[in-house]
């Protein structure tokens, strides 16, 4: 059985945001050019994902959820957040929501990390605890899950 991976959830969230913006905008809170403020979290989200992906490859471990990790990656950006890629995706969604400038897409900026946390983060953290024991526990005590 194939599992639905985080990028699919991210894509559904983007499509959902666009639909909410068009079909149920719930009021505009930002006007152009202030909507361009969305470029900042968008850029940061891209950067976090690229840097985290490179860290996984540098440590020769998997980036895919539910696969056994061969290394516990703790260097930047994992020294700031235990989930830089999920945080990056959330920042991308926030950037898009700001660019759209209407309130309803913001719902998915809140819902997305909650779903990701329940569906992926908790399972991944149990797997890391099993695989890395005390090293994981020390890292977990030192670095926050999200921010």
d(CA 72, CA 79): 11
pLDDT of 108 reads: 97
d(CA 88, CA 74): 17
Tens-digit pLDDT profile for residues 21-42: 999 888 888 788 988 999 999 9
pLDDT of 147 reads: 87
d(CA 31, CA 110): 22
Instruction: Collect all residues with Cβ–Cβ distance below 8 Å to 50 and sequence separation of at least 6.
Output: none
0.95 exceeded by pTM? no
pLDDT at 2 exceeding the cut of 80: no
Tens-digit pLDDT profile for residues 87-142: 999 999 999 999 999 999 999 999 999 999 999 999 999 999 999 999 999 999 99
């Amino acid at each position: 059985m194939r599992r639905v991976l985080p990028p699919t959830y991210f894509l559904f969230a983007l499509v959902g945001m666009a639909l909410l913006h068009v079909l149920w905008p719930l009021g505009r809170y930002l006007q152009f050019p202030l909507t361009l403020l969305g470029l900042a979290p968008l850029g940061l989200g891209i950067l976090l994902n690229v840097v985290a992906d490179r860290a996984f490859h540098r440590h020769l471990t998997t980036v895919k959820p539910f696969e056994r990790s061969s290394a516990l990656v703790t260097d930047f950006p994992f020294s700031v957040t235990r989930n830089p890629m999920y945080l990056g995706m959330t920042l991308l969604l926030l950037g898009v929501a700001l660019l759209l400038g209407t309130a309803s897409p913001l719902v998915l900026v809140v819902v997305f990390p909650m779903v990701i946390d329940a569906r992926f983060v908790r399972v991944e953290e149990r797997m890391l605890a099993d695989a890395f024991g005390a090293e994981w526990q020390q890292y977990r005590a030192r670095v926050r899950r999200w921010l």
